Every structure is written in structure tokens, then in C-alpha cells.
Amino acid sequence: MPSVSVILPAYNEGEVIGSVVESLRAVAGQDWEIIVVNDGSDDDTAARAAGDGVHVITHPYNKGNGAAVKTGLRAATGDVVCLMDADGQHDPAHIADLLEALDTYDLVIGARQDGGGTGGLFRRLGNAFYNRLATYLSNQKVLDLTSGFRAAWRDKMLEFLPLFPNGFSYPTTSTLAFIKAGYNVGYVPISASKRVGKSKIRLLPDGAKFVVIALRMIVLFSPMRVFLPASLLMFVAGASYGAYKIYQDTDITDSTVLLITMSVVTFLIGLVSEQIALMRLERLQK
């Protein structure tokens, strides 16, 4: 059996972290390594997380959820790492299901049944949008892009550590990185409880960041999924406008020439980016 490390990034979760660790220990016994990364909390998160067999790592200041995850991954010693939120949303009993699925997959994601967790209508709609965007960009069905409850083989997760942002959202980055690298990504349905305390995610600013991260990851691994549609859009716009002006004035305008030229340039940039992406992927996997 592979050894298991459970990593909980925590920021100002003193109200609930003690019960989360206790319930986790009840499921794991003494077999699993439990790492709590206290990300510069200004409450008693570190003290409440401390316990028998729990490794607490404290950042001197708040760096962000992604930075806490990276610290935990570097410190983990298990063959398999399980990442879960420290806010009480995730049931440790589901970890066994994630680990079982790792017999088949390299990364297993706990897919929330409603697709968006318990954050209200706008949060669910936002997560549904991110899932659809990621499905298009990666050309593979993505059931829950932003779920922070996941398990993976540690050596494969470490391959993409430099790509993880320090803030939100490492789940988006890791999911798309595994997919575009050709690893097997699976999903296990889970139920998510209402978190204790206030969410650290801001709907509009962080939502925009999720979209940018998704686009950045696809440009890193499969640029033509972005550049080709942009090129086609400019070409169709330029050709349509040119045909209209020829019909109206028997003349081709500068705008038509510019749009068609830009479409060709964008396509060529996409081709070059695709080759760079392949070389980068080969370097990451060495």
C-alpha cells in the first residue's frame, strides 16, 4: 500500500481546524501523515491544529492558498498526497474513495454533487461556467474545476509545482496541467457541507483570476485552442467586411486588410507557441 500524506492549507480557520483534524485522525488512525500549513493566520489556527502526529508548518505571513499547498507538497513524504480544505466543507470519509480511484487515475478530484458547492446561486453558476470553459479549452470533460478536495501521486503533482499560483487557484492549474500532460484525471462524487466562517474567495476579482488562469494554462500546454478561434474570428470578420465593401463600393478598405493580416499573424504565432509548449512539456516531464 502506498503511504499517504494529507495536506490542509489553513488561514484563520481556528474556529473549525481542531474538529477537522480530529475527524481526519478518526478516519486515518496513525497510518497517514497529516500536514497543516498555517498560512500566516492571525488567530489560533496553529495552536488548535497541533496534536499527536500532526505536522504544523507556519508561514510568517499570509502568502496565499496556493503557496500553502506548495509548502505542504514539498514537506510531504507520502507516495500519495490528498489535499482538502480546512474549513469543514469536506468529509474525510471520502478520502478512501479518492485513494481507491488512484489505482486507475493519476489525479482524482472530489466532484461536488451540485457542481458548485454550497456558496449560493452565483457561486454555482460561476463554477458551472468555469467547468464549461475548461471542458472546451482542454477538450476533455471537466466535472469540477475548482474543487479543493483531490488526491494524486505526489511525484506527478511535483512536476507542475512551479506552475501553481501563490493565491487562488491551484485546483484550476493542477487539473488542466494533468489533462494537457496526458495524465489520467478521474472524478469521485462527493457532498460538500457549508463551510464554517466566511469564504476567502471574492466572487468577481477571484472569478476573473480563475478565467485568466484557465486561459494561461491552455496557452502553456495547447495554445492553438486559443489562437485558432481568435484567428478564425478575425479572418471571418475581415473577409465578411471586405465582401460587403466590394459589393457596396467596389473597394477594399484598410480595415479589411488589417483584419485578415492579423488573422494570419495570430495563426502563425499560435503555431510557434504550440511548438514551444511541446518543448516545455518535455522539459517538465524529464
132 shares a domain with 66 = yes
The CATH number that applies at residue 119 is: 3.90.550.10
245 shares a domain with 139 = no
240 or 286: whose pLDDT is higher? 240
234 shares a domain with 212 = no
Final residue of a structural domain among 221, 240, 256: 221
What is the total count of domains within the chain? 2
> By mean pLDDT, which of 8-22, 138-152, 186-200 is the weakest?
186-200
pTM reported for the whole predicted model: 0.78
| Residue 203 pLDDT > 70 | no
pLDDT of the residue at 114: 61
254 shares a domain with 139 = no
Query: 149: closest CA among 213, 209, 94?
Result: 94
230 shares a domain with 90 = no
What is the separation, in whole angstroms, between the first and last Cα of the chain? 26
| Full domain range(s) for residue 18 | 4-221
Burial class (CB in 10 A: 0-12, 13-18, 19+), 205: exposed
128 shares a domain with 56 = yes
190 shares a domain with 78 = yes
228 shares a domain with 141 = no
- Averaged confidence pLDDT in the chain: 85
| For range 180-207, the mean pLDDT | 74
125 shares a domain with 107 = yes
The C-alpha atoms of residue 80 and residue 90 are separated, in whole angstroms, by 18
| For range 33-49, the mean pLDDT | 91
Final residue of a structural domain among 221, 240, 263: 221
Q: With bands split at pLDDT 50, 70 and 90, how would you rate the model's confidence at 34?
A: very high
229 shares a domain with 216 = no
144 shares a domain with 56 = yes
pLDDT of the residue at 116: 47
182 shares a domain with 107 = yes
CA 222 to chain centre: 16
Residue range 1-13, pLDDT digits in tens:
789 999 999 999 8
Q: In Å, what is the CA distance from 5 to each residue of 18, 31, 99, 177, 197?
A: 18, 9, 11, 21, 26
| Residue 230 pLDDT > 70 | yes
The C-alpha atoms of residue 187 and residue 189 are separated, in whole angstroms, by 7
